[in-house]
């Protein structure tokens, strides 16, 4: 039986865009969670197989990821996962401190009792004996985004989300060598006491300690 052309599904531009978005999100997840490690060469064929797609969406997704700094296009070699550099760590935490010193200060001024209770409950996991580092990393992400949400500046929140994706990857890498973490108690206490200046300072100290921990690991 001859199949007429109109009996076959037509792959529209919208369908193509949807596939590129899916592949992009999947690859980005693998990058953030270090399933694809810094410095690793990326094979289009292997990625296409892993994503259950063709090479075209892989190329387009990798092009987007290259624009965001997650991968690099090496001439005649394809893509590699962008290695972590000391400069990258310094710049990431410098920008993070600018964003989060603002959010902590604002949150201390505007947080409701219920919002403060949520913050305290999120970081309660840090006190649990034998807790998995993965749980602490997840709670850390949520804690910082909760504060930014309380601060109420959508532009700052959007930028912090992007910045914390890079920080999450660093946290995952560091957890492979060092199972300790930087606690959040002083930040919560300052917000509970509604002391904006103290909250700002506590957040700055927290970010600096996190930065120094990363620098020690990547410089070693």
Q: What is the model's pLDDT at position 8?
A: 35
Cβ-Cβ contacts under 8 Å for 3 (sequence gap 6 or more): none
Mean pLDDT of the residues in the chain = 90
Cβ atoms of residues 65 and 21 within 8 Å: no
The mean pLDDT of 25-43, rounded to a whole number, is: 95
- Reading across the β-sheet that carries 71-74, which strands appear in turn? 41-42, 78-81, 71-74
104 shares a domain with 160: yes
116 shares a domain with 196: yes
Question: What does each C-alpha distance from 112 to 1, 109, 115, 151, 160 come to in angstroms?
Answer: 69, 9, 5, 11, 22
Q: What is the model's pLDDT at position 129?
A: 84
Q: What is the pTM of this model?
A: 0.85
Residue 86 has pLDDT above 70, yes or no: yes
In whole angstroms, give the CA distance from residue 65 to residue 77: 16
CA gyration radius, the chain = 21
Q: What is the model's pLDDT at position 56?
A: 94
pLDDT digits (tens, 9 = 90+) for 168-187: 999 999 887 877 788 999 99
pLDDT digits (tens, 9 = 90+) for 89-115: 999 999 999 999 999 999 999 999 999
Q: What is the model's pLDDT at position 103?
A: 98
Q: What is the CATH number of the domain that holds 187?
A: 1.20.120.530
Asked which of 81, 102, 135 is the last residue of a domain, the reply is 81
What domain range is 198 assigned to? 86-219
Q: What is the model's pLDDT at position 9?
A: 39
What band does 19 get if pLDDT is binned at 50, 70 and 90?
Answer: very high
The mean pLDDT of 82-95, rounded to a whole number, is: 95
Give the residue, 215 or 5, on which the prediction is more confident. Answer: 215
169 shares a domain with 61: no
- For 72, the enclosing helix (H) or strand (E) is strand 71-74
Asked which of 81, 106, 132 is the last residue of a domain, the reply is 81
pLDDT digits (tens, 9 = 90+) for 117-154: 999 999 999 888 888 888 989 999 999 999 999 999 99
Q: Number of folded domains in the chain? A: 2
What band does 16 get if pLDDT is binned at 50, 70 and 90?
Answer: low
φ, ψ (nearest 5 deg) of residue 79: -110, 150
- Residue 206, Cβ density class (10 Å: 0-12 exposed, 13-18 middle, ≥19 buried): buried
Q: What is the model's pLDDT at position 217?
A: 83
What band does 76 get if pLDDT is binned at 50, 70 and 90?
Answer: confident
Q: Which residue has the tokens 């649990």?
A: 128
Cβ atoms of residues 199 and 119 within 8 Å: no
110 shares a domain with 72: no
100 shares a domain with 191: yes
3-state secondary structure of 144: helix
In whole angstroms, give the CA distance from residue 57 to residue 73: 16
């Amino acid at each position: 039986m001859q199949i007429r052309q109109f009996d076959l599904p037509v792959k529209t531009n919208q369908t193509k865009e949807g596939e590129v978005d899916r592949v992009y999100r999947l690859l980005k997840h693998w990058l953030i969670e270090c399933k694809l490690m810094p410095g690793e060469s990326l094979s289009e064929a292997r990625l296409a197989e892993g994503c259950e797609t063709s090479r075209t969406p892989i190329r387009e997704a990798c092009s987007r990821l290259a624009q965001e700094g997650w991968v690099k296009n090496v001439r005649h070699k394809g893509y590699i996962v962008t290695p972590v550099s000391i400069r990258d760590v310094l710049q990431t935490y410098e920008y993070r401190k600018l964003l989060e010193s603002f959010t902590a200060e604002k949150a201390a001024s505007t947080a409701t009792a219920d919002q403060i209770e949520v913050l305290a409950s999120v970081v309660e996991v840090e006190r649990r004996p034998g807790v998995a580092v993965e749980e602490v990393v997840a709670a850390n992400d949520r804690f910082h985004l909760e504060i930014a949400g309380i601060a109420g500046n959508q532009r700052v929140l959007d930028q912090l989300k992007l910045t914390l994706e890079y920080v999450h990857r660093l946290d995952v890498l560091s957890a492979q060598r060092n199972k300790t973490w930087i606690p959040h108690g002083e930040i919560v206490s300052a917000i509970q006491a509604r002391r904006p200046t103290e909250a700002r300072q506590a957040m700055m100290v927290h970010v600096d300690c996190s930065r120094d921990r990363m620098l020690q690991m990547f410089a070693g």
